[in-house]
Every structure is written in structure tokens, then in C-alpha cells.
């Protein structure tokens, strides 16, 4: 999925949520998050600090996952998408699943952002 398709799908997912089409919105948000994970893994493989063995298998898996995590923290896309999934699940009455996505979303909250608005949801 290229950047334009990603943005179009994100806009469509938000529109679906506003229209009450929660299942359709959730499916698109999940596709978007899956794409972010794929992009993060592609990024992680390209970083020079990873060593590989003779078969091309990554030796330093801890560094690989740190690189992928760095990619997901590089902007707020992962946080926003995970929080949107959280809110859709909460609206659908799936509070425990929503809580799990909230916890994951906070992991990718940019350092300069305040999560107070998210904490309000958690108190409900």
C-alpha cells in the first residue's frame, strides 16, 4: 500500500466510524496497522547495525525489534490508529479489548504529547 492509498484508507476508516459502520472502520484500521507493522519490519531489516549469518538470517533480533519499534515511534500514526481501534471497540461495548489497544497505543505516543485525554477514557 503506497502513501496515498494509506491516507485514503485512513480517511475512509474515519468516515465509516462517523457513519456508525464500526465493523468496516475496524477492518480498515486493522489493515492500516498491519501495513505499519510491515513497513516497520522493512525498515528494521534495512538498518545497517543488524548482523546476519551466512544464510542471511538476522543475528541480532533484539536490535531488529528495537529498530521496528523506533520506526513505529517515529511519528504518531501507530498511536492514532491503535487509539482509533480502541475507541471503536469501546463504542461497540468490547471494553476489555479496547483497554488492550489503549495500552498498546500509549506505547507509541510521541514523547511530546500528553495522554491525559486517553486517560479519561480509561476511567470510564
Element at 111 (helix H, strand E): none
Alpha-carbon distance values, 89 to 30, 39, 56, 86, 105 (Å): 12, 25, 40, 5, 13
What pLDDT score does 26 carry?
A: 96
Mean pLDDT of 1-24: 95
- Count CB atoms within 10 A of the CB of residue 124: 7
Higher-pLDDT residue of 62, 16: 16
CA distance 11 to 9: 5
- Name the pTM for this structure: 0.80
CA distance 108 to 121: 17
Band of residue 115 on the pLDDT scale cut at 50, 70, 90: low
Into how many domains does the chain fold? 1
Higher-pLDDT residue of 57, 99: 99
As given in the structure block, the three cell numbers for residue 17 are 466510524
The range of the structural domain enclosing residue 114 comes to: 3-123
Residue 99 has pLDDT above 90, yes or no: yes
Question: Which residue is associated with the grid cell 471497540?
Answer: 89
Higher-pLDDT residue of 14, 47: 14
CA distance 37 to 46: 14
Residue 9 has pLDDT above 80, yes or no: yes
Amino acid at each position: 500500500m503506497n502513501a496515498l492509498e494509506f491516507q485514503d484508507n485512513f480517511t475512509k476508516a474515519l468516515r465509516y466510524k462517523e457513519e456508525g459502520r464500526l465493523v468496516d472502520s475496524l477492518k480498515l484500521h486493522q489493515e492500516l496497522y498491519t501495513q505499519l507493522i510491515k513497513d516497520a519490519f522493512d525498515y528494521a531489516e534495512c538498518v545497517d547495525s543488524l548482523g546476519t549469518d551466512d544464510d542471511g538470517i538476522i543475528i541480532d533480533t533484539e536490535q531488529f525489534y528495537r529498530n521496528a519499534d523506533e520506526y513505529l515511534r517515529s511519528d504518531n500514526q501507530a498511536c492514532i490508529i491503535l487509539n482509533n481501534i480502541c475507541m471503536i471497540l469501546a463504542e461497540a461495548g468490547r471494553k476489555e479489548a479496547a483497554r488492550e489497544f489503549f495500552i498498546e497505543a500509549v506505547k507509541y505516543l510521541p514523547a511530546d504529547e500528553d495522554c491525559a485525554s486517553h486517560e479519561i477514557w480509561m476511567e470510564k
